[in-house]
Structure 1
Amino acid sequence: MGQINLFRGVEHIGIKTINIDEGIQFYTKILGFEFLHRKKPGLVELAFLRLDGTVIELVEMKKGDQFEDGVVNHLALTVTDIEKAVDWLKENQVTLLQDKPISLGEERYNFFFRGPSGEKLELYQG
């Protein structure tokens, strides 16, 4: 199976922040990002912002949490078929962080894996 039709583009870039309110203020007031939405799907709070078509996801970290993956938490790629994309990663012996895609509701799914230098990457279908 080829990957040529699976990967469509960058969905968003996840950036860690210790204080999500300060992060939102910085990116909107100083850098001119547009605030899109904020949510807390579990223990971690997220905020999505956009600048000229590029979306960042601020991922709030609790004070004292380690930044083991660096400050850039992950790069999310939009895919046309997440199941086929996961199969493609498996065929190419990519390090997977999950067994299968996770449903985010409303026919949206994500899946995390590692790049060759250990960088955290995400597949997103929605």
Structure 2
Amino acid sequence: MGALEQQLYRLQKWKMRVDRARNGVDALYRSAGEAAADKGLAAVRALTPVETGRLQMGWQKRVSRTGSSYQVSLLNEVAYAPYVEFGHRAGKSGFVPGRYMMSRGRIAAQTALAMEVARAEAKILTQVKQ
């Protein structure tokens, strides 16, 4: 086998590794998004004040893909969630300050997402290099 054939053979093997890694990219990024959403959800639930538990159990996560982008969403559809998050007036007694559980929990989710994406990208690069 000549030098040119060896180079062609190595190039074909490398292309197969790249194709195999590309096929797993969606699953890796989705799992990274799910892991980050789980950590963010845990942080938001821990920061949510509890009286009946309805607000705390109302937190949900969604990971969606649009084109080549992924979106991680934490949401709460309980009607009074914005009042607890941002605060509200309380008749003549003044103002009840917000708890900002979503705002603070978002930081935990973003940190977790950065770590999970870095881990996924390292795994992809490892697959290509092998």
- TM-score over 0.5 for the alignment? no
TM-score tier after normalising by the smaller chain length: under 0.3
The structure that is helix-richer by fraction is 2
* TM-score, normalising length: structure 2: 0.24
Structure label with greater radius of gyration: 2
Q: Which has a greater percent of strand?
A: 1
The structure whose RCO (Cα within 8 Å, separation 6+) is larger is: 2
